Amino acid sequence: MRSVIHDRFGEPADVLQAAATDRPAPQDGEVLIRVILSPIHNHDLWTIRGTYGTRPDLPATAGSEAVGIVEETGPGVDPALKGRRVAAAGLKGSWAEYATAHAAGVIPVPDDMPDAAAAQLIAMPFSAITLLEFLHVSRGDWVIQTAANGAVGKIMAVLAQSRGVRLLNLVRRPEAVAELTAMGMTDVISTNDPDWIAQARAIVGKDGARAAVDSVGGAVAAGLIDLLGTEGLLVTFGSTTGEDLQLPAGPIIFKHLSIKGFWGARVMPATPPADRQRMFGELIGLVMEGKLDLPAGGTFGLDEPTAAMTAALTPGRTGKVMFKP
């Protein structure tokens, strides 16, 4: 079968290549999925670079999420799943014609849900909803997020509005302020503005925010610490800059702040099944009601890995770039 693989770690555009690989067979508790669409996520790129929390054995087929049709069921799996269109994440190689997945983790999707939405239903939306619950915030609380123009940021805005949580959205590019405002997002500030902290404080008020989520890293973390209220929580979710957090000790001590990491690969498996079902129901409902838009930002064949990486790494793109076998 056709796949996108890498036999060394490095920049995705440099190390990815199209190749013929063996079609996998489903093992106990697994299903074989014929891939329809598979998105390119930031964590896929970090995995290819060798900088993510897990490093695959090489050579490795890249990609981790897909929508597709169940072609085969392994031992111990309900054969009724065969032929169902499902979303699946946590895959070890989804940029291919076929991929295997744990049957317990696949999500049958409604017939009228677009493939582009179903292909990215789990990793980013489920990360966003579990992250929001991880913050333990209530209706009316202020939350600050960086990288608000990213996939998780846009989803977080929809979820926060649905749940009555107030959200301050930070972006780096000034142009992104206009882009998000045109999409209907409010309270958007560029951290390139010299007075961005003062602007933010005027919005969240003197008591500060209950929580902040950082996906950027570097110096912006100090501003988030400044804007948190007493007993506030800072969660680090990623580092698009690749820089370490710059954290001032004084405010952390005197405001009794907490700092935690959030890794979906650790949090999601620990989520009770009833909560997973509830949260997926909420996400599917928002998609089907047209409130949560999950578009594709372009599709590429499995023989176009370099072009796909160029598109995926272009700032300001709308929607996830995807492979279409």
pLDDT, tens digit, 9 for 90 and up, residues 149-162: 888 899 999 999 99
- Sign (positive or negative) of CA dihedral 39, 43, 46, 48: negative
Q: Where in the chain is the domain with CATH 3.40.50.720?
A: 124-266
Q: Which residues have a Cβ under 8 Å from the Cβ of 314 and sit 6 or more positions away?
A: none
Residue 276 is predicted with a pLDDT of 86
**Could you give the residue range(s) of every CATH 3.90.180.10 domain in the chain?**
2-120+294-323
Backbone angles phi, psi at 278, to 5 degrees: -60, -45
Q: What are the CA-CA distances from residue 291 to residues 129, 237, 306, 310 (Å)?
A: 14, 24, 33, 29
Question: Which one is the CATH code of 124-266: 3.40.50.720, 3.40.309.10, 3.90.870.20, 3.30.450.20?
Answer: 3.40.50.720
Percent of the chain past pLDDT 70, that is, above it, reads 100
Please report the pLDDT score of residue 240 as a whole number: 74
pLDDT reported for residue 152: 87
Beta-bridged to residue 320, according to DSSP, are 296
Measure the CA angle with vertex 172, ends 166 and 176; round to 5°: 75
Answer for the pair 38, 116: CB distance below 8 angstroms, yes or no. Answer: no
Q: Highest mean pLDDT: which of 211-220, 234-243, 258-267?
A: 211-220
Across residues 278-292, what is the average pLDDT?
Answer: 92
Residue 10 has pLDDT above 90, yes or no: yes
Is the pLDDT at 118 greater than 90? The verdict is yes
Query: CATH homologous superfamily of domain 2-120+294-323?
Result: Medium-chain alcohol dehydrogenases, catalytic domain (3.90.180.10)
pLDDT reading at 74 higher than 90: yes
* Residue 115, CA distances (Å) to 6, 140, 194, 265, 281 in order: 26, 35, 42, 23, 17
Average pLDDT estimate for 199-225 = 94
* Dihedral over Cα of 74, 76, 82, 86: its sign: negative
Q: Is the pLDDT of residue 242 over 90?
A: no
CA distance from start to end of the chain? 10
As a whole number, mean pLDDT of residues 133-148 equals 95
The overall average pLDDT reported for the chain is 93
Distance CA 297, CA 74 (A): 34
Q: Is the pLDDT of residue 322 over 80?
A: yes
pLDDT at 217: 85
Taking a C-beta distance cutoff of 8 angstroms, is the pair 230, 255 a contact?
yes
pLDDT at residue 314, rounded to an integer: 86
